[in-house]
Amino acid sequence: MSSIAELFDLFALNRVIDTYCLSVTPDTLVSDAITLMLNISYENEDKATCILVTEEGCLIGILTQVDALRLAASGRNLSSINIAEVMRREIVSLQKSSHHDIFTALRIMRQYEISHLPIVDEKNQLLGIIEEKSLLQFFLNEHDSKIAKTN
């Protein structure tokens, strides 16, 4: 690294925010939401591991893969339940700011023991998500790149 600015750029939050994230409205049936999770693949062929619930673009809830499995195991009729009835309403999210970097996201995720960190703007409009696997992939890629440069 030749400058502090390059170092800040290296660890910029944008490097790990996935702007393509699965989101639905509060009136979406749980069965439909789970079907989306199972059938939507991202560029890297990973399946969605959570669904963000938005109303007029604002983040109001989250349903994770673990939540969906618990619901499925409960025996409830998921085709008669709106996601608003079962989503987590207390959401840990991060407001995007030039003061926040990858380490901010990592600290929050470790502190709250979460695998999904929605990123919002100052009006709580959903901008994207950072997932634990994205952070791990970022650090692995940086590590591999350093090894390649030394060889």
Condensed to tens digits (0 to 9), the pLDDT of residues 53-108 reads 999 999 999 999 999 999 999 999 999 999 999 999 999 999 999 889 999 999 99
Which carries the bigger pLDDT value, residue 17 or residue 47? Answer: 17
The residues, any chain, with a CB within 8 Å of residue 77's CB and separated by 6 or more, are: none
Residue with tokens 């926040």, as numbered in its chain = 100
Q: Which of 54, 48, 80 is nearest to 67 (CA)?
A: 48
pLDDT computed for residue 145 by the predictor: 56
Give 6-36 pLDDT, tens digit per residue.
555 666 788 889 888 899 999 999 999 999 9
- Strands of the sheet with 94-95, listed across from one edge: 94-95, 116-120, 126-131
Domain span at residue 71 reads: 4-150
Ordered DSSP codes for 12-65: BGGGT-BS---EE-TTSBHHHHHHHHHH-B-TTSPBP-EEEEEETTEEEEEEEH
- 93 touches 59 (CB < 8 A): yes
Residue type, 2: S
Neighbours of 6 (CB within 10 A): 9
74: CATH: 3.10.580.10
pLDDT computed for residue 1 by the predictor: 46
pTM (predicted TM-score): 0.82
Domains: count for the chain: 1
Give 116-145 pLDDT, tens digit per residue.
999 999 999 999 999 988 888 877 766 455
The two three-digit tokens of residue 137, written as one number: 């992939």
